[in-house]
Structure 1
Amino acid sequence: MLEKTKVIVDVLDIFVSLKKGLNLTDVNFQLNNIYETQGKKVDQQMLIEVINELTADGYLKTFKVGALDSWKITEEGEDHFYDL
């Protein structure tokens, strides 16, 4: 099982690297591309918890694209990522 701290760092890295809004499926796909070489897979529930925590901390902002919830990194989120 993946450590939550690693997932947090990787989620922030994905948003910083791609510089665009992503929905849950997009983030899950990106993470699984990273972890599949290690024979691991991200737990959907953990990913939702991580995204909710990052949003509550002000590191991600949420918006809707059609019916889908999506997120984009905030300036505070970028600063936090580079401070890690």
Structure 2
Amino acid sequence: MSAVEKRSVTIRGHRTSYSLEKPFYDDLVAIAAERKLTLAALVAEVDEARPRDTNLSSALRLHVLAWAKHGTASTPTRNTSMEPP
């Protein structure tokens, strides 16, 4: 099992942090590269779309899971409750 690593990123002008295991982080980097986004831009998209009662780390894991299951990096919306399209 991979240890959880805490990382910081600036989104919308403020610093925030999230904690992910290395495999999730590596896939997040791959998703960003596939979509030609910076990692910060991808994290900002997921942060904006997540329900307010879901923490950022969980939302990022769910985003990676949706990408892995469906082969696409679609950003969920608030209306879909983190379910892929």
Shorter-chain TM range is 0.3 to 0.5
More helix by share: 1
Q: What is the TM-score with the length of structure 2 in the denominator? A: 0.33
Q: What is the TM-score with the length of structure 1 in the denominator? A: 0.33
- Structure showing greater relative contact order (alpha-carbon pairs closer than 8 Å, 6 or more residues apart): 1
